[in-house]
């Protein structure tokens, strides 16, 4: 066993400079100005799964990671407003969404004719995807629209669905059992996401959708891009005396005489009194292969409670918004492998942008071979562009002459084995118990976790800050 370095150990090492890690480092430097704190990031950039890229001739940065926050997300909104950052409405149209499902053009999940291409039962025909989903949610969590958080806690603790504990059901299995295969497919296709409507623990999905956020909330994006949130946090942390180190991939950690010994892939070794791991689940599991402390039952239980899902985004930009007036709103959902299409009209003299393909979970699979080894934020390969153009033409039958894009940018959250797009609770897990343990799984060890995976707002930046807040409370002495 190696001896700790001769230099004084850091009071706190934070691993991962995404939103959660940068928030922990920043807030702890304020709370404990006398502590020596280091923020370590394996890549060459701050931001994690927030990745904003500025393209010449485009009004705002394109968002290859998270692309919006809700005005009801108080932690994010307070930061953005407190810093005086300019923001803009994510949806500048205010118009209804659009769907293209099995060849039928309709007005999205709220349209009564959107399911005409599906073999629905007599009592399902003519109902919207929202109505069908809501009828299933009522069986999963009776009275869900009136429940507060404690009501969901009680339902998870003792509720049953068709004779089984309600937490034993994934949302996909529950929807198919209640609605049948075709109606379940319609609901899934109309909402556009695979992982959220397939694998998510059923009662947790219902709370995720219907509890905690003001239904009148507006989606907004910082003018400088979502990446500005972690970069601003890291910058303020550094200005307060914190240390930021890029290109530091944590390869292993062990406890030596009560101190944590951290070895990085660049051969640097440091010691720390305590550590916060603000890393996606795949990175945590890779680290656990060389860190015996992370293979302890307490960490295994937390790690297995969530599942990580890949995501892929392809942006295209054009001289003008050729999709108007055929598409009135900001989004089309489709059963084609594109799955979700977003439209961002440029101001006069600037390019208009389309998020032409946005997939997650199993819906990423059809694109992996065409993705090849394309590096993050680089143009899409010609074969992928050709397939996307063909599917865009099919999804927009109202448009006779679709132009060739001026440029493209591709991002695959899953190409790097350390990363995923987001995480959701697994079926069979009581998330309430896990949320109590996740910030500090083993009170005997000075190893903490901070990740949107362990929050009530998984996949959102607000979830990352929520999880970080819980970890900060533990670091500041709240009893375990």
- 405, HSE (Cβ side, Cα atoms, 13 Å): 24
Other CB atoms closer than 10 Å to residue 436's CB: what's the count?
12
Instruction: Note the helical H segments in 142-180.
Output: 149-158, 171-179
Judge if 244 and 298 occupy the same domain.
yes
Q: pLDDT digits over 164-189, tens only?
A: 999 999 999 999 999 999 999 999 99
pLDDT at 257: 86
**Under 8 Å between Cβ of 247 and 36:** no
For residue 287, give the H/E element and its range: helix 281-288
pLDDT of 154 > 60? The answer is yes
Judge if 184 and 117 occupy the same domain.
yes
Residue 200 binned pLDDT confidence (cut-offs 50, 70, 90):
very high
| Exposed e or buried b per residue across 326-337, where buried means at least 16 C-beta atoms within 10 angstroms of its C-beta | ebebbbbbbbbb
Other CB atoms closer than 10 Å to residue 282's CB: what's the count?
17
Final residue before a domain boundary, out of 387, 413, 439 = 413
Query: Which CATH number belongs to the domain containing residue 395 in this structure?
Result: 3.90.660.10
Residue 252, domain member (yes or no): yes
pLDDT at 215: 65
Final residue before a domain boundary, out of 210, 245, 277 = 210
Residue 2, domain member (yes or no): no
Query: Which CATH number belongs to the domain containing residue 34 in this structure?
Result: 3.50.50.60
Residue 429 binned pLDDT confidence (cut-offs 50, 70, 90):
very high
Domain count, the chain: 3
Residue 364, domain member (yes or no): yes
Average pLDDT, the chain: 95
- 35, HSE (Cβ side, Cα atoms, 13 Å): 23
Judge if 45 and 69 occupy the same domain.
no
Judge if 345 and 397 occupy the same domain.
yes
Judge if 292 and 440 occupy the same domain.
yes
Residue 314, domain member (yes or no): yes
Residue 295, domain member (yes or no): yes
β-bridge pairing 243-245 and 219-222: unpaired
pLDDT at 7: 66
Q: In degrees rounded to 5, what are phi and psi of residue 380? A: -70, 150
More confident residue, 2 or 368: 368
Residue 143, domain member (yes or no): yes
Q: pLDDT digits over 201-221, tens only?
A: 999 999 999 986 666 789 999
Q: Which domain holds residue 300?
A: 12-49+228-305+429-475
Mean pLDDT of 154-169: 97
pLDDT at 1: 38
Mean pLDDT of 121-137: 98
Judge if 169 and 265 occupy the same domain.
no
Which tokens sit at 13? 């090492």
Size (the chain), residues: 480
pLDDT at 116: 97
pLDDT of 3 > 80? The answer is no
Mean pLDDT of 283-287: 96
Which 3 state secondary structure label does DSSP give 397? Answer: coil
CA 401 → CA 310, 345, 372, 396, 398, distances in Å?
33, 18, 29, 10, 9
Query: What value, to the nearest 5°, has the Cα angle with vertex 333 and ends 328 and 339?
Result: 140
The arrangement of strands across the sheet holding 219-222 comes to: 69-70, 219-222, 87-89
For residue 134, give the H/E element and its range: helix 129-140
Judge if 58 and 25 occupy the same domain.
no
pLDDT at 6: 47
pLDDT of 479 > 70? The answer is no
Residue 368, domain member (yes or no): yes
Which tokens sit at 27? 């807030």
Judge if 394 and 316 occupy the same domain.
yes
Residue 22, domain member (yes or no): yes
Mean pLDDT of 323-345: 97
pLDDT at 213: 67
Judge if 265 and 283 occupy the same domain.
yes
Q: What is the rounded distance in angstroms from the CA atom of residue 185 to the CA atom of residue 193?
A: 11
The full DSSP string for 69-95 is EETT-HHHHHHHHHHT--EEES-SS-P
Judge if 314 and 386 occupy the same domain.
yes
pLDDT at 212: 67
Judge if 401 and 375 occupy the same domain.
yes
């Amino acid at each position: 066993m190696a001896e700790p370095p001769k230099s004084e150990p850091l009071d706190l090492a934070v691993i991962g400079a995404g939103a959660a890690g940068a928030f922990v480092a920043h807030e702890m430097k304020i709370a404990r100005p006398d502590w020596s704190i280091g923020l370590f990031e394996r890549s060459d950039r701050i931001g994690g799964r927030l990745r904003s890229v500025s393209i010449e001739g485009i009004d705002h940065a394109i968002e290859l990671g998270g692309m919006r926050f809700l005005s009801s997300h108080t932690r994010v909104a307070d930061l953005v407003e407190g810093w005086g950052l300019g923001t803009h409405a994510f949806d500048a149209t205010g118009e209804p969404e659009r769907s293209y499902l099995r060849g039928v053009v309709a007005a999205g999940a709220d349209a009564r004719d959107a399911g005409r291409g599906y073999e629905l039962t007599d009592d399902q025909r003519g109902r919207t995807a929202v109505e069908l989903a809501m009828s299933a949610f009522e069986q999963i969590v009776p009275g869900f629209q009136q429940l507060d958080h404690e009501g969901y806690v009680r339902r998870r603790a003792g509720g049953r669905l068709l004779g089984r504990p309600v937490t034993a059901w994934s949302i996909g299995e529950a929807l198919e059992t209640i609605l049948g295969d075709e109606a379940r497919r319609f609901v899934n296709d109309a909402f556009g996401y695979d992982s959220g409507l397939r694998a998510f623990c059923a009662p947790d999905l219902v709370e995720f959708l219907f509890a905690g956020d003001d239904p009148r909330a507006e989606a907004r994006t910082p003018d400088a891009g979502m990446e500005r949130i972690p970069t601003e946090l890291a910058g303020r942390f550094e200005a307060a005396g914190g240390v930021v180190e890029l290109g530091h991939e944590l390869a292993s950690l062990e406890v030596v005489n009560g101190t944590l010994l951290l070895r990085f892939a660049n051969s640097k070794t440091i010691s720390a009194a305590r550590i916060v791991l603000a890393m996606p689940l795949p990175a945590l599991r890779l680290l656990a292969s060389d860190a015996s402390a992370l293979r302890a039952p307490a960490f295994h239980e937390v790690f297995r409670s969530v599942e990580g899902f890949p995501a892929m985004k392809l942006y295209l930009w054009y001289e003008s918004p050729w999709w108007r007036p055929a598409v009135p709103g900001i989004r089309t959902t489709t059963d084609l492998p594109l799955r979700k299409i977003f439209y961002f009209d440029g101001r006069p003299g600037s390019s208009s942008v389309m998020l032409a393909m946005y997939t997650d979970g199993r819906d990423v699979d059809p694109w992996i071979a065409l993705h090849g080894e394309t590096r993050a934020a680089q143009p899409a390969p010609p074969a992928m562009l050709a397939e996307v153009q063909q599917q865009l033409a099919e999804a927009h039958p109202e448009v006779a002459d679709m132009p060739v894009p001026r440029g493209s940018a591709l991002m695959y959250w899953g190409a790097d084995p350390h990363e995923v797009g987001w995480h959701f609770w697994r079926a069979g897990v009581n998330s309430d118990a896990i949320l109590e343990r996740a910030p500090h799984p083993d009170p005997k060890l000075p190893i903490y976790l901070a990740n949107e995976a362990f929050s009530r707002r998984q996949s959102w930046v607000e979830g990352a800050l929520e999880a970080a807040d819980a970890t900060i409370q533990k670091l500041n002495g709240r009893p375990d």
